[in-house]
Structure 1
Amino acid sequence: MESNARDWFTGRSNANGVDLNRDFPDLDGFYYYLERHNIPRFDHLLELFGDEGKEYQPEVRAVGKWILSLPFVLSANMHEGDLVANYPFDSARIPNSNEYSISPDDETFRYLAESYASKHAQMAKNDHPPCDGTVTDAFARQGGITNGAKWYSVSGGMQDFNYLATNAFEITLELSCEKFPDSTLLPKFWGDNKEALIDFIRKAHIGIKGIVTDKITGQPIPEAIIWVKNSTEITPIKHPVTSWKTGEYFRLLTPGYYEIYVTADGYQSTFKQVNVTNGSQTSAKIVNFALMPEQSKVEKLKFKLNL
């Protein structure tokens, strides 16, 4: 990630000669390991990831700490070197291949990438020549988007770290054919990207959001797990999100009918059926949940209150 390096003007690498967008924990590889061994863990993988021997760069440690400290919903990682909206997964399931590496939220990620590319002045325009001068990377012909691994496989990138370590959805935006464009071109780049960036910010309001609370006390429940199942599918999307310490949760989704399941330690699970339309640009559909404590917890509460 060029934008988090203080010495970015010296080149792509930091002062230690390390490419920061290859230095994040390789959660893709860990995800694929769990997948191969049928281990049902699909989110917040940093909690299980063992990399004690790895010495991460100070910029990566700082950005990673910041990412984990706030309940981000949507983000974009901005680069130069091509003109395309790139979405997860970035790392190929089969090493040294260029096969499409699908994520559980492929439909939503494609929607986010397509939305940005279509609002960009050139990204999805068929008359824009490929940056490399060949048909290999003729991204405009595919709507100005690409699956990361299908383009070229990357391990240790920030995009997939966000998705697999937190609740945030991130895509990577390649905004210029020139890898290190002259500063005089910045006004043009702003003009090319202004509408796309504003629209992308609005995309934080797609899907659903709400607060998970205790049905008896009304107190927020942190770390509640929110699963989503499309009504047309048999199994849930294998990427739940969790509620923040304030009980709030956010779940980006494309339009459709969904079943939302919520679980939390010490509480009875519950679910609701919702119709997501994404009709508003200022608020996701609000779906709140009040969970009933399990009986043992209710008895403890009654004892505490002398009831």
Structure 2
Amino acid sequence: SLVSPAPLSAFVPSPSLPSTPGTPSLSTSALPPPSAPSNPSSKPTSSSSPFPMPVRTSLSTFTGCPDSSLTLSNPLVSLAPECPPLGLESLRVSDAQLRASSIQRYGLGAHRGRFNIQSGIHDGDMYDGGWCAAQKDQNQWLEIDARRPTRFTGVITQGLNSIWTYDWVTSYKIQFSNDTHSWGGSQHQASLSFQVFPANKDPETPVLNAFPAPVVARYIRINPQTWFENGTICLRTEILGCPLPDPNNVYFWDNTPKTTDKLDFRHHNYKAMRQLMKKVNAECPNITRIYSIGKSYLGLKMVAMEISDNPGQHEVGEPEFRYVAGMHGNEALGRELLLNLMEYLCHEFEAGNPRVVRLVTETRIHLLPSMNPDGYETAYKLGSELSGWAMGRWTYENIDLNHNFADLNTALWDAEDNEMVPHKFPNHYIPIPEYYTFANATVAPETRAVIDWMQRFPFVLSANLHGGELVVTYPFDMTRTYWKGQELTPTADDPVFRWLATVYATTNLAMVDGDRRPCHCDDFAREGNIINGANWHTVPGKAVFSLLRALTSTLPPPPPPAFDGDYWRLLNPGEYEVTAKAEGYHPVTRWCRVSYEDNPTLCDFRLTKTPKQRLREILAKGGKIPKDLLLRLRQLRLRKLRAQRQAQ
């Protein structure tokens, strides 16, 4: 029970799910977005669905009238644009490539007009949720410089992300240029510059307008024409386009960075994920094993891959590690990272890479690429960018798996406040609350599967891969002061967790880039790109559950005892006083020195049985108590009686 499975969380910017050829296109008749309020002074009402539903349309030609009313002149036609996003959301498009006619303030500048960008809790800071123009007229624009000739095929827009105001653009024009001086519509359709695209009806629903024919240019402008009447001109956008060779560039070859690894670098839906895992297993059968930890609500297997020199066996002195990804189904990058890690470890082990060989032979690695396969499939089917920020994030039952584990923090802290720890209440293995085990408890089958998984394997360390921010969080993730949204709440092992988080953050090239900008509304670079989870935002019921539970259980069915004496504790280098205890045995205390070497430090204990324990074992076997032991027991009883009489 000296194992400390550490649930670090690595957050990485998550590229959106890809467009899927053959997926039925969505139209306003099939998926109506929430309507704008009829009363200008009222807030828009939410739709019946818990998710923003995407809208995909073609270029729907409108004719502008002097009174700014709009008349639809051709029916909606769903077209799947053939080009991928330029990268406003993924930050591949830099801030220097974005320009605007005017801005309300820096926090609402052109650099904030990125698709799916999130605002902070407080409006008015440097990190608001979109671009907003300073004036409310039809001369405002947001400009994107592709920096090379590009075949533009469509535009996706959203309104301002804010919990305090409601602002979005309801229609806009598109202009193109090669020099920023001459602006016009498509070379294929001279009237395009006079045509108006339908835009948003609420702040979050993505609306895609696909052009009827591609337009080749370097610059593209979005020129809002109308907006929510009780708001102002604000939007977030993504541009769809294919880069073309630049005839003015003396370097004729494509200098776009490309991967040199032989990895299947693409998005994988559930079927493709299973196929890739089987392929890796077939290529490296001696070091890999595929197994299921359970099933999702819709019956999809939650498959994991074990990578070890002896798959299926726990080896004494070999730590067990797990990576979990896809807790939120719409966070695509974690799944792909783990799938590529499977491929990489297999290929490099076969090639004799010393570092990989050592990892595989000295560690038992478990990789779960998709904890929420139902959510991923939901988002994947909607195609590129159109899943929005929330579609597929939760399970099919609308459960956020990141908040679905039992809240063991509160139970521990209440016991500490009542001075019950450690004699009346344990501080190393917190029992699961009874309510959490009820059949009607709101606990997802995916969550129960992971809990069972944690109890079956003696994990020493774990990490969860999320999407959305580029930061490593470490426990605790819940504030001790229940009413505070942010509060530094360290564990007893805070130095170890900070060290682990720092190692990850300082070896990630993107995280150590001093010129990179914050993803959304927090600048983690000032703290070394690591943060105590509770000091960021409190999350009760998170997977820190695994930190508060060692791997010996009082709940049925208990895991098998460690007959081989295998125990682990993650510690920073130094000298530690360690005590080993067991019922029926004399406790033993010794000093253990943890060195800077890569190998684990052995600290063995040999416990001797107490006389009572020996007596119990003799009687349990039907034996008789030896005469000398009977005599000693009588003497002990007499001493106790004399002591009691003297005390009276």
TM-score by length of 1: 0.69
Alpha-carbon spacing, 1:52–1:39, altered in 2? closer, same or farther (3 Å)? same
What is the deviation of 1:55?
3.0
Question: Which consecutive residues of structure 1, in runs of 5 or more, have no partner in the other structure?
Answer: 168-221, 224-242
In the alignment, structure 1 residue 71 sits paired with structure 2 residue 458: yes
Q: Give the corresponding residue for 2:526.
A: 141
Alpha-carbon spacing, 1:166–1:92, altered in 2? closer, same or farther (3 Å)? same
CA distance in 2 between counterparts of 1:73 and 1:96 reads: 32
Give the one of 399, 408, 413 matched to 1:18: 399
CA distance in 2 between counterparts of 1:144 and 1:46 reads: 33
In the alignment, structure 1 residue 46 sits paired with structure 2 residue 362: no
What is the deviation of 1:166?
2.7
What is the deviation of 1:126?
3.1
Alpha-carbon spacing, 1:46–1:245, altered in 2? closer, same or farther (3 Å)? farther
Q: Secondary structure at the match of 2:572?
A: coil
Give the one of 7, 15, 18 matched to 2:374: 7
Alpha-carbon spacing, 1:245–1:90, altered in 2? closer, same or farther (3 Å)? farther
In the alignment, structure 1 residue 81 sits paired with structure 2 residue 448: no
Check conservation: 1:100, 1:147, Cα contact below 8 A.
Answer: yes
CA distance in 1 between counterparts of 2:431 and 2:596 reads: 31
CA distance in 1 between counterparts of 2:493 and 2:466 reads: 23
What is the deviation of 1:57?
0.7
What is the deviation of 1:244?
3.2
In the alignment, structure 1 residue 154 sits paired with structure 2 residue 542: no
In the alignment, structure 1 residue 260 sits paired with structure 2 residue 645: no
Q: Give the corresponding residue for 1:122.
A: 510
CA distance in 2 between counterparts of 1:31 and 1:297 reads: 32
Give the one of 600, 617, 626 matched to 1:284: 600
What is the deviation of 1:261?
0.6
Alpha-carbon spacing, 1:47–1:246, altered in 2? closer, same or farther (3 Å)? farther
Q: How many residues align?
A: 228
Structure 1 stretch 39-48 or stretch 26-35: which is displaced more? 39-48
CA distance in 2 between counterparts of 1:245 and 1:19 reads: 38
TM-score by length of 2: 0.34
Q: Secondary structure at the match of 2:473?
A: strand
Check conservation: 2:436, 2:443, Cα contact below 8 A.
Answer: no
Letter in 2 for 1:259: E
Q: Judging by fraction of residues, say which structure has more helix.
A: 1
Identity of matched residues, %: 34
Check conservation: 1:125, 1:140, Cα contact below 8 A.
Answer: no
Q: Give the corresponding residue for 1:37.
A: 418
Alpha-carbon spacing, 1:90–1:18, altered in 2? closer, same or farther (3 Å)? same
CA distance in 2 between counterparts of 1:245 and 1:61 reads: 27
Q: Secondary structure at the match of 2:567?
A: strand
In the alignment, structure 1 residue 249 sits paired with structure 2 residue 567: yes
Q: Secondary structure at the match of 1:78?
A: strand
Letter in 2 for 1:7: D
Q: Give the corresponding residue for 1:200.
A: none
> Alpha carbon RMSD of aligned pairs, Å?
2.2
Check conservation: 2:406, 2:432, Cα contact below 8 A.
Answer: no
CA distance in 1 between counterparts of 2:450 and 2:510 reads: 31
String of CA shifts for 1:91-134, please: whole Å, max 9, x gaps: 001124211011111111111101111111122433221111x4
CA distance in 1 between counterparts of 2:435 and 2:583 reads: 25
Check conservation: 2:576, 2:593, Cα contact below 8 A.
Answer: yes
CA distance in 2 between counterparts of 1:36 and 1:270 reads: 30
Q: Which has the higher contact order (CA 8 A, sep 6+)?
A: 1
